[in-house]
């Protein structure tokens, strides 16, 4: 008699973005004439760059001839790409080895799967609000109790509140925790941690033999000087941190699918000396994964190289100009906004303490603009919305015009 993994039933509700899609589709059905302006999901909208497209075409051409065809590659990713990633990190003064990189089909998969190499008994700290994948993967992994609908919290998690008081970057926890998910620049708040703030977490982790799971998927969106792009810019972080990053937002690979995770050889924890966690993630990937698409990997190499790198950065600059327009537009509409300077996300307070989902519905109904309700990212996200700067310029402009004209706060 097969039985199910009961942890799935603890999951509070449908995954956030499908729920947004459902509500939007329903509203669109009721208003077929309306043109919906989408600033909800962080979904890239601009074309892949010429250098990337050339590399993708070239790889397909190689695969179309038996002399140059290749099948399975290494589960960890092609060596040429891992070596290019090593070079990429040199710009931040970070020295890593190719065997510390694990290329994957994207940061979401890695962020969700990484918990599998740790014990079920580990206590997990998450920034609140946070990308839902950190939370949901650990619920499924069995590290929580039930969801409490009154507090909007799972039993067992340690929530690190990110709020106006701390500039949306929390301090390390007061109590002992084992795994800490950190994301900087942050999704959803758009806040970016300083060197001192990251150092406080690294010191905490070293002292408590905790492991930091650092999501730097938006590192290329940092426009101001002095903020770390990689946690390994902090001394001794290799001993206590795993870093996850992606080509999705940097090079428009949301649909192409490519990311990477760094598990340093120096990384250790209570019952794993240096090297063990690197080997465990290697074994996990060799068992559960068969490598990222070789076409995507060829595109990723181009995105990090010469003209491709310049083009990737031009893509980021395009979205950051959107971010500026959104910041200014929402401010003119009377909202209080954060983020959007070192991050593609603008984190805006709802007017008059309105609940997030109500404000979501209001913006959809009165302005035809889709945003993401902050409460979908955790209890401290309540009374906020996340506005994504991913969109065509003209749509961003239309959305801001519509909000300025139709939103009365």
290 annotated to a ligand binding site:
yes
Which residues between 371 and 390 bind a copy of itself (CB under 8 A)? 390
Q: Does 195 bind a copy of itself (CB under 8 A)?
A: no
Which residue's CB is nearer to a copy of itself, number 1 or number 150?
A: 1
107 annotated to a ligand binding site:
yes
Site string for a copy of itself, 198-237 (x = CB under 8 A): ----------xxxx--------------------------
Q: Does 57 bind a copy of itself (CB under 8 A)?
A: yes
Min CB(399)–a copy of itself separation in Å? 17
Strand (E) positions, 157-271? 158-161, 179-183, 211-215, 241-246, 259-262
CB 238 within 8 A of CB 97: no
Which residues between 4 and 33 bind a copy of itself (CB under 8 A)? 4-6, 8, 11, 14-15, 18
Peptide bond into 185 cis (omega under 30): yes
Give the torsion sign (CA, 250, 233, 263, 388): negative
Q: Does 80 bind a copy of itself (CB under 8 A)?
A: no
Q: Does 145 bind a copy of itself (CB under 8 A)?
A: no
Residue 192 tokens read as 């970016």
Query: What is the Cα–Cα distance from 319 to 43, expressed in whole angstroms?
Result: 11
Q: Does 257 bind a copy of itself (CB under 8 A)?
A: yes
Q: Which of 169, 296, 335, 396 binds a copy of itself (CB under 8 A)?
A: 296
Which residues between 303 and 362 bind a copy of itself (CB under 8 A)? none
Which residue's CB is nearer to a copy of itself, number 218 or number 338?
A: 218
Query: What is the Cα–Cα distance from 184 to 170, expressed in whole angstroms?
Result: 12
Which residues between 97 and 126 bind a copy of itself (CB under 8 A)? 105-106, 108-109, 112-113, 116-122
Which residue's CB is nearer to a copy of itself, number 255 or number 334?
A: 255
Nearest to 237 by CA among 175, 279, 180: 180
DSSP 301-326: HHHTSHHHHHHHHHHHHHHHHHHHHH
**CB neighbour list of residue 218: distance below 8 Å, 6 or more residues apart:** 183, 184, 185, 186, 187, 249, 343, 344, 345
Which residues between 263 and 292 bind a copy of itself (CB under 8 A)? 269-272, 276-277, 280, 283-284, 286-292
Residue 320 tokens read as 């950051």
């Amino acid at each position: 008699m097969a039985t199910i993994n009961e942890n799935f039933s603890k999951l509070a509700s449908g995954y956030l973005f499908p729920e947004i899609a459902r509500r939007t589709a329903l509203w669109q059905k009721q208003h077929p004439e309306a043109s919906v302006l989408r600033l909800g999901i962080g979904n890239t909208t601009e074309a892949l760059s010429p250098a990337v497209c050339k590399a993708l075409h070239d790889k397909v051409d190689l695969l179309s001839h038996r002399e140059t065809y290749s099948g399975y590659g290494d589960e960890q990713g092609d060596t040429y790409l891992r070596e290019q990633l090593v070079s990429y990190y040199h710009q931040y003064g970070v020295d890593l080895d190719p065997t510390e990189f694990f290329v994957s089909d994207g940061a979401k998969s890695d962020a969700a799967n990484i918990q599998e190499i740790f014990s079920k008994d580990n206590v997990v700290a998450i920034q609140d609000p946070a990308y839902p994948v950190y939370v949901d993967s650990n619920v499924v992994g069995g590290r929580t109790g039930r969801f409490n609908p009154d507090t909007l919290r799972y039993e067992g998690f340690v929530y690190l509140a990110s709020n106006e008081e701390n500039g949306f970057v929390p301090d390390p926890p007061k109590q002992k925790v084992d795994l800490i998910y950190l994301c900087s620049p942050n999704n959803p708040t758009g806040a970016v941690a300083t060197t001192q703030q990251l150092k406080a977490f690294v010191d905490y982790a070293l002292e408590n033999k905790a492991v930091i799971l650092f999501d730097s998927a938006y590192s290329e969106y940092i426009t101001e000087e002095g903020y770390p792009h990689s946690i390994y810019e902090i001394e001794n972080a290799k001993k206590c941190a795993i870093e996850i990053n992606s080509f999705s937002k940097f090079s428009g690979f949301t649909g192409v699918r490519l990311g990477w995770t760094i598990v340093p050889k120096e990384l250790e924890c209570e019952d794993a000396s240096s090297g063990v966690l690197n080997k465990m993630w290697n074994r996990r990937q060799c068992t559960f994964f068969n490598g990222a698409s070789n076409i995507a990997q060829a595109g990723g190499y181009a995105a990090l190289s010469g003209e491709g790198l310049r083009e990737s950065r031009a893509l980021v600059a395009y979205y950051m100009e959107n971010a500026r327009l959104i910041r200014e537009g929402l401010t003119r509409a009377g909202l209080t906004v954060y983020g959007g300077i070192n991050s593609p996300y603008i984190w805006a307070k709802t007017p008059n303490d309105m609940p997030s989902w109500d404000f979501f519905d209001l913006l959809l109904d009165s302005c035809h603009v889709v945003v993401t309700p902050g409460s979908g990212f955790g209890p401290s996200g309540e009374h906020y919305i996340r506005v994504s700067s991913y969109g065509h310029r003209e749509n961003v402009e239309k959305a801001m015009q519509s909000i300025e004209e139709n939103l009365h706060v």
